[in-house]
Structure 1
Amino acid sequence: MSIKSSNIGYPRIGENREWKKILELFWSNEISEEQFYSEMEQIRLSHLRKQKEKGIDLIPIGDFSYYDQVLDTAAMFGLIPERFKTGETKISLKTYFEIARGSSGKIASEMTKWFNTNYHYIVPELKDAKPTLLENRLLNLYLEAKNKLGIHGKPVILGPITLLSLSKGFDEQERAELLNSLITLYIEVFKQLKEAGAEWIQIDEPILVKNLEKEIINELKEVYTAFQGGVPDVKFILQTYFESIEFYEEITQLPVQGIGLDFVHDEGVNFENIKKYGFPNDKVLFAGVVDGRNIWKSSLTEKASLLKELTSFVDENQLIVQPSCSLLHVPVTVKSEQQLDTQIKDALAFADEKLEEIVYLTKFANDELGVAELESYDLAVHSLKNSAHRNVQIVHDAMKNTKNDSSSRIDSKIRKELQAEQFQLPILPTTTIGSFPQTKEVRKQRLKWRKGELSAAKYEQYIQSEIKKWIDIQEELGLDVLVHGEFERTDMVEFFGEKLEGVAITKFGWVQSYGSRCVKPPVIFGDVYAIENMTVKETVYAQSLTKKPVKGMLTGPVTIINWSFVRDDISRTDVLNHVALAIRAEVKALEASGIKMIQVDEAALREGLPLKEEKTENYLNAAVYAFKLATSSVEDNTQIHTHMCYSNFDDIIHAIDELDADVISIETSRSHGELIASFEQHHYNKGIGLGVYDIHSPRVPTIDELSQNIKRALEVLDYHAFWVNPDCGLKTRGEAETIAALKVMVEAALNYREKLHTVETV
């Protein structure tokens, strides 16, 4: 038996984002449901066909989704929130998308980050849930690949332990009951797959890389013993990724035939455990040796050396080569990036190229490829590593100088008094997070400018007209603190990536973030620094149109790092501080131009938390230092704002405080105010806005909903510190719904303001 190759998952979106286009055409009622299914099938089959042509032996089936794989699993087992139930025996496409996106009168399910990636999943709501197998989607997809392409694929499903761990709305007793029900349903799915001819089934349990309680291991034993007993002739792969697994000895003794381990992001722990405890001789090791989360070429000589070392502990017949995780987290192919600097492009590997790396390594391990071929492949990696891009003296000098920087400001109470005098804002001041709708016309004008069909002067004139339009709208709505709208920006990270040295922007390097929302993470390939102002012109113009304060809008260093593909030849902390120094220069330039409110968004601070608790402190210390390095140079009466996404801040509330921002806004609406509980336990004495409505849904909130959200927040927060704002930027929303929602928000704030004035006067 020779060593084989495998893939864990493939990007859904297509080389030209065909998947996104079909979704949005369907949502806008421009194509029928029948057309939708037909087009999606063609995309899905093309992805399978490509993997087969690349030479992958075990091709994943079921990783393709219309929205999210967690939602797919919940929907398959009938785990539908009560408000979306219609009595249908099979979940309709309409209901499926309503759960994810909301609809009139129905709030969408909570959406949050998939572990520490920038992919979002829909959180299953299991209150009073009664699991039932509505449809075996895996069977349908397996048969489709088998009958139409002759591919006997590897069905992929999210495991029950991870599914429950990522869900909400049940207690421990209910968890046990849900697990028992799910075990029966999973077994039924597996039986049907076995009868259809499936040999291997991949069960994703990434929760096993987090710090676990011993009870989880007991659940694992119960689940996988039941699986093996229920479907004895199927080979199960227990697949993990993103880190090293906990309880190595217990997990590797589970009754499964394959174990998938990440040998890229585990910091060597998985391999050390193999050396220390061995690897069972009755199991296959699915070795994740190619980085599935970053876009740099592998050093194939180093990877081949790792595989060879593994064979000292694992028999060759027990080894299968694969990426460290699903390739969902990287773009599709490098081949389209014709505009990139050759030295940079040659060092990149997207999903298709990573499949080729897996095949190269598999062939080498089977003596079908020589060392010379691997060394030739590695030349591009060494070329970039030794280039001038990574040896910029001014950056290295600036880094040395930061050692003498205290990165601190005077006490926040003193600043608060100075800023109150500076801005003269009412209580419960209203504002937005930064961006306004990027209409088709905005995108059209930007594209014409990029193609040279519109002069820089004409484009600037157009951007200014949009800024003026929305300054006027904000004035008319009665917002207290305004923003310029960010019409010149494609993406909150990409925009800065285009203007910073040491950062490249791809043309087709899209990855899925949530739903049809795709982003192009910048590629940080060298030492990062700024050579000119990035945001001053538009912000100063906006401020010239109004007497109300206009916030300067910047993206923070932690978010730029977490939403970029980062060079891997130096520590992330060093890259983080490179970026912080570049943002610091822009903060100074805004302040020097008369902008006294500056928002430095750290939307991705929490999502970058390590999956292991013991690594959290170092990460947060580095994040806080970088933010303060970027913001602490301002005058005392300049107000620093920041914004963060998503709930569950209990474990980092101290770090939020240590950022020392004057005002922080946090996205909370989809978690229905659960974040507020964090502030019942932790006193927070700076300005804070807990997003009062969900911008990810097209529905316009009611005044009662917003009033309740404000009321709940003011039960635990000082109203003198509370700001009223949406929970995130409004870039993806339509103009009419944005104006309608903000009108309701301002009205709710004014109503509460009047109530508070009455209380104060009494």
Structure 2
Amino acid sequence: MSTSIIGFPRIGENRELKRATEKYWKKEIDQNELLKISDDLKEKNWQIQKDAKLGLISAGDFSFFDNVLDAATLLNITPKRYADLGLNQLDEYFAQARGYQDDNHSVKALPMKKWYNTNYHYIVPEIDDDTEIKLVETRFFDDVKKAAAKHSNVKASLIGPFTILKLSRYVGKKSAEDFIEPIVEAYKEIFSRLNEIDIKWLQIDEPSLVFDLSADDKKLFDDLYTRILAIPHDFKINLQTYFGDVRDIYEDLVKLPFDGIGLDFLEGKQTADLIAKHGFDDNKVLFAGVVNGKNIWRNEYKKTIELLKSLPVKNIVISTSCSLLHVPYTVDNETDLDPELKQHLAFAYQKLDELHDLDEIFFNGNTELLDTNEALFKNVNHPKDPAVTKRIADLSDADYTRLPSRAERETIQKDEFHLPDLPTTTIGSFPQTKDVRKNRSLYKHHEIDKNQYDQFNKDKIKRIIEWQEEAGFDVLVHGEYERNDMVEYFGENLAGFAFTKKAWVQSYGTRAVKPPIIWGDVSRKNPITVAASTYAQSLTDKPVKGMLTGPVTIFNWSFPREDIPAKESVTQIALAIQDEVLDLEKHGIKIIQIDEAALREKLPLRKSDWYKEYLDWAIPAFKLVHSKVQPTTQIHTHMCYSEFNDIIKAIDNMDADVISFEASRSDLSIIDKLKANNFETEVGPGVYDIHSPRVPSQSEIYNVISDILAKLHESKVWINPDCGLKTRGESESFASLKNFIAAVQQKRGELG
């Protein structure tokens, strides 16, 4: 038992789970068919790990939507409004993730947030004073039992109780401490059921230990695990952490009777020093996270072996830094990639091979594998562009400063656009229906020419511009029909990026993305959005927003280079997007939205590192993009599904003119923070959740607008959905937006 992983991707190499789940939602297949497909995927995952000769095979890491929701559901943390729907267990689970609507019910989904510093999203559990924590689910045990029936070295994995309690939203007077005893009682039953299954280890994931921990946090953890570890069990327990180090609680961890502790040696900057300073119990196993679970570059074996040899630890299992959920399945599917690049890539399957190689080198002294890897790392040739290097060297403080001040610009822009109070717009994309995807596929496979492809998109743009005008929107968008993905589309028009065919990574639920690979120096090859934006603007007298993806989001939603600092890479991208902004402005586009949906994503988990390691270059990168535009040009930005409350001032410092936030799932909690911090930027808090298929009523949206205006003056408020509509269907989107406009008109009537 010398190798292990924390978790494995579950959407399927060809997105089989996505397709099956969405068919189930549409009632095209029944639950038995969905369960059969999921069982096949689980078995394939277990067999892949066995074939790679992993010391332990992970079970329990599969999910139909999200592992946090799985763990909450297992413990009966299900709000009453979902239980009252009278659905079967699986449909009740999906209702929490997506919302639910029928003739008699309309229930919003639970909030969704970013999973630590990744592009994965988790469903936020909700605990109220009546929540009765107890064991109610069986799927976890069914999965583990199936794995153990076929494989002899199974490790079950489960999101731990400390992390569940820390990530949950509390509605009522009770707090996390009030639920310690019922959780311990639930774990007694969990252990009892696992004792009946032949597993070697239980991996309990506690990534929340890598945050800054207070004395109360540490007491909560100790109170939970002092009791849980005293429960009789026939398996060993590994306390697994990832995404950082556990400096605030390391000394306590090593004293508790865990059989193993999993630590991240890549993002855990102090992990090795903690072990060197405080030691590691010879009776425990260190699950050493040394293979990167978040990026796709090959592991440099020499450095990894040197690290492992430096550790004063007797028992080591070589592992991944986090779950392989965050990387694609296999490089083998990428037949069109440049071999020069491809040889340096490792996706999930290849990372299993790397674990085997490191095992052979570290434990068995295989020098041939080490020599081959060392030769590879002597031949890494990232494409360089001297012009890009010079452009960055020539930057000065003035390049990051927009004049005049935002307050002056606000007056200028109100005179320029003459928009009503509560101006309405959408975030950008409209539904990408089957015919849109088919048109893209036909062009990609050379079955239609460029003129035919472009004409189809023009017809779509014309239709959606007319629809928005008829519906009554104030600021229009062109719909983004030409775009496959908000990052991939831009990367395809920038030098320095490489693209994959099947390298899908789960973002949330059934939503998967193909992150581009930043391989060389970045610059703009040609205009990207000018043609579509100017065509849309030619169709209407109302302003049409130019729609761009910001540099930080492009970087954070790509697989980044590791040979240069993140700041340098982001600055390269910022200059490329600046070229596009100025081109749009030159062609008459007066409102430009630069989305930074992923701004918070790479924010260090520890507050002490926020500015010097991230915000001190991420915020200026955004400012660099728009600093040269005219005062009459209005700059918007958009952010979604993250916790922004504690970086409000940094966001205001981006110096945008308007910012839209996801707010509907989080019950507008961000509004209080905006007000408390005297937020100067005009804001568009999302008034309804587009990630749910349910159609909000006019009265529901009206009430949300009323709640916003109870705290913010109407002169500072824009009205918009909480995100783009790309993944939704047209019928539900159009119905929602009609209710949306009616609610705004009702409120405007009241305001006079």
1:398 aligns with 2:396: no
Q: Contact 2:148 / 2:199 at 8 angstroms: preserved in 1? A: no
Report what 1:613 is aligned to.
607
Report what 1:475 is aligned to.
469
Following superposition, the deviation at residue 247 of structure 1 comes to 2.1
Q: Which one of 646, 654, 669 corresponds to residue 651 of structure 1?
A: 646
Report what 1:682 is aligned to.
677
1:696 aligns with 2:691: yes
SS at match of 1:156: strand
Report what 2:705 is aligned to.
710
SS at match of 1:606: coil
Aligned residue runs from structure 1 range 131-530, under 5 A = 131-147=133-149, 149-170=150-171, 173-245=174-246, 246-267=248-269, 269-310=270-311, 313-315=312-314, 318-367=315-364, 369-370=366-367, 372-384=368-380, 386-387=381-382, 389=383, 391-403=384-396, 405-409=398-402, 410-530=404-524
SS at match of 1:547: coil
Q: Contact 2:662 / 2:686 at 8 angstroms: preserved in 1? A: yes
Q: Which one of 556, 577, 582 corresponds to residue 583 of structure 1?
A: 577
Aligned residue runs from structure 1 range 549-588, under 5 A = 549-588=543-582
Q: Contact 2:399 / 2:628 at 8 angstroms: preserved in 1? A: no
Following superposition, the deviation at residue 529 of structure 1 comes to 0.8
Identity, % of aligned positions: 45
Following superposition, the deviation at residue 649 of structure 1 comes to 2.4
Q: Contact 1:142 / 1:152 at 8 angstroms: preserved in 2? A: no
Distance of aligned partners of 1:243 and 1:647 in 2 relative to their CA distance in 1, 3 Å threshold: closer
SS at match of 1:203: strand
Q: Contact 2:291 / 2:320 at 8 angstroms: preserved in 1? A: yes
- Hey, what's the Cα distance between the residues in 1 that align with 2:82 and 2:378? 54
- Hey, what's the Cα distance between the residues in 2 that align with 1:257 and 1:510? 35
Q: Contact 2:361 / 2:369 at 8 angstroms: preserved in 1? A: no
- Hey, what's the Cα distance between the residues in 2 that align with 1:151 and 1:300? 29
Following superposition, the deviation at residue 86 of structure 1 comes to 3.7
Following superposition, the deviation at residue 524 of structure 1 comes to 0.7
Distance of aligned partners of 1:576 and 1:479 in 2 relative to their CA distance in 1, 3 Å threshold: same
SS at match of 2:431: coil
Report what 1:67 is aligned to.
65
SS at match of 1:598: strand
Q: Contact 1:183 / 1:227 at 8 angstroms: preserved in 2? A: yes
- Hey, what's the Cα distance between the residues in 2 that align with 1:717 and 1:566? 39
- Hey, what's the Cα distance between the residues in 2 that align with 1:467 and 1:569? 41
Q: Contact 1:698 / 1:737 at 8 angstroms: preserved in 2? A: yes
- Hey, what's the Cα distance between the residues in 2 that align with 1:292 and 1:144? 26
Q: Which amino acid aligns with 1:304?
A: I
Following superposition, the deviation at residue 510 of structure 1 comes to 0.5
Report what 1:11 is aligned to.
9
SS at match of 2:261: strand
SS at match of 2:411: helix
What are the Cα deviations for residues 359-387 of structure 1, in whole angstroms up to 9, with x where unaligned? 110111121522x3223124344322x44
- Hey, what's the Cα distance between the residues in 1 that align with 2:434 and 2:633? 35
Following superposition, the deviation at residue 404 of structure 1 comes to 5.2
What are the Cα deviations for residues 125-184 of structure 1, in whole angstroms up to 9, with x where unaligned? 11121012113433211211122x234410001110000000012578542231210111
Q: Once structures 1 and 2 are overlaid, which stretch shifts more, 95-104 or 170-179?
A: 170-179
- Hey, what's the Cα distance between the residues in 2 that align with 1:672 and 1:205? 27
Report what 2:78 is aligned to.
80
Report what 1:760 is aligned to.
none
Q: Which amino acid aligns with 1:160?
A: P
Q: Contact 1:647 / 1:668 at 8 angstroms: preserved in 2? A: no
- Hey, what's the Cα distance between the residues in 2 that align with 1:136 and 1:214? 35
TM-score (norm 2): 0.97
Following superposition, the deviation at residue 187 of structure 1 comes to 2.3
TM-score (norm 1): 0.96
Following superposition, the deviation at residue 22 of structure 1 comes to 0.9
Q: Which amino acid aligns with 1:279?
A: F
Q: Which one of 526, 533, 538 corresponds to residue 532 of structure 2?
A: 538
Q: Contact 2:550 / 2:595 at 8 angstroms: preserved in 1? A: yes
- Hey, what's the Cα distance between the residues in 2 that align with 1:335 and 1:190? 40
Distance of aligned partners of 1:425 and 1:47 in 2 relative to their CA distance in 1, 3 Å threshold: same
- Hey, what's the Cα distance between the residues in 1 that align with 2:85 and 2:628? 60
- Hey, what's the Cα distance between the residues in 1 that align with 2:665 and 2:387? 44
- Hey, what's the Cα distance between the residues in 1 that align with 2:646 and 2:514? 30
Report what 1:116 is aligned to.
117
Q: Which amino acid aligns with 2:387?
A: I
SS at match of 2:598: coil
Q: Contact 2:425 / 2:719 at 8 angstroms: preserved in 1? A: yes
1:58 aligns with 2:35: no
Q: Contact 2:148 / 2:197 at 8 angstroms: preserved in 1? A: no
- Hey, what's the Cα distance between the residues in 2 that align with 1:463 and 1:36? 35
Q: Contact 1:61 / 1:156 at 8 angstroms: preserved in 2? A: yes
SS at match of 2:288: strand
Q: Once structures 1 and 2 are overlaid, which stretch shifts more, 417-426 or 541-550?
A: 417-426
- Hey, what's the Cα distance between the residues in 2 that align with 1:405 and 1:524? 28
Q: Contact 2:683 / 2:717 at 8 angstroms: preserved in 1? A: yes
Q: Which amino acid aligns with 2:241?
A: T
SS at match of 1:196: coil
Q: Which amino acid aligns with 2:341?
A: I
Q: Contact 1:533 / 1:586 at 8 angstroms: preserved in 2? A: yes
Following superposition, the deviation at residue 261 of structure 1 comes to 0.3
Q: Contact 2:163 / 2:206 at 8 angstroms: preserved in 1? A: yes
- The alignment covers a number of residue pairs equal to 744
Q: Which amino acid aligns with 2:29?
A: I
Distance of aligned partners of 1:744 and 1:172 in 2 relative to their CA distance in 1, 3 Å threshold: closer
SS at match of 2:713: coil
SS at match of 1:30: coil
SS at match of 2:506: strand
What are the Cα deviations for residues 685-716 of structure 1, in whole angstroms up to 9, with x where unaligned? 33211111100011111111111111111122
Q: Once structures 1 and 2 are overlaid, which stretch shifts more, 136-145 or 289-298?
A: 136-145
- Hey, what's the Cα distance between the residues in 2 that align with 1:138 and 1:684? 45
Q: Contact 1:108 / 1:697 at 8 angstroms: preserved in 2? A: yes
SS at match of 1:328: helix
